[in-house]
Amino acid sequence: MSKMGKSMTDVGDAAQSTQQSIKQAVRLTGETVGMGRELVLASKILGALLAITLVLLIVLEIQWIRHWSRKLAASK
């Protein structure tokens, strides 16, 4: 193979490698965006669960206070 032919082959290989790296970068960017969406969804779900837990704890605390106030009033 001549020197010119080898250079052309090297240029072709470099171009193919560049195309493959661009495709890989596009695919990784899409995966990163997908992971970001999953993270946002997970944080929303976690926030909702924490809010529900907080409301339930407040209700339980109010019931506990009422229970003991009735119990103390009955014992006097």
If the chain, 76 residues long, is cut into consecutive pieces of 10 residues, what is the mean pLDDT of each piece?
A: 62 74 78 80 96 98 96 89
pLDDT of residue 42: 92
CA distance 18 to 73: 82
pTM exceeds cut of 0.95: no
pLDDT of residue 6: 61
pLDDT of residue 24: 79
Q: Quick one: three-class SS letters along the chain? A: CCHHHHHHHHHHHHHHHHHHHHHHHHHHHHHHHHHHHHHHHHHHHHHHHHHHHHHHHHHHHHHHHHHHHHHHHHHC
The structure tokens 């669960």 sit at 49
The structure tokens 């976690």 sit at 46
